[in-house]
Amino acid sequence: MKIHNLKILIDFAGSVAVGNKLFEIRKNDMGYQKGDFVKFKAINKYGIEIRHAINNMLFQITYVMSGYGIKEGFVVFGIKEYIAEIREKDDFPLGTDAGGNELHPGN
């Protein structure tokens, strides 16, 4: 699994951060795979990084699609916020998605 560091325009960052936009359309130049992680950096229209809550969030790719009317060389992938938490009884980090479902990045 990889962590992809991607820029995102401020116009879209808020919708992704609050969970209203659950997909990305990107040039398929990074080998996106289901289970990979995405870290966004919000930028303005001039490409300058700006402070935004999304800069401190981590997302997991849940689905990857190409073909089927998607422009050649591009991909659409689904994302959901990934939240790591410490479970006291197990005493090791375990990830959960925003709905509290357990995720196992190594699988």
pLDDT (tens digit, 9 = 90+) per residue, 64-101?
A: 999 989 999 999 999 999 986 544 444 444 444 445 55
Cβ atoms of 98 and 80 closer than 8 Å = yes
**pTM for this prediction:** 0.75
**Residue 19, φ and ψ in degrees, nearest 5:** 90, 15
The more confidently predicted of residues 91 and 27 is 27
Examine the pLDDT at 31 and tell me if it is beyond 50. Answer: yes
The 10 Å Cβ neighbour count of residue 10 is 13
Average pLDDT of every residue of the chain: 85
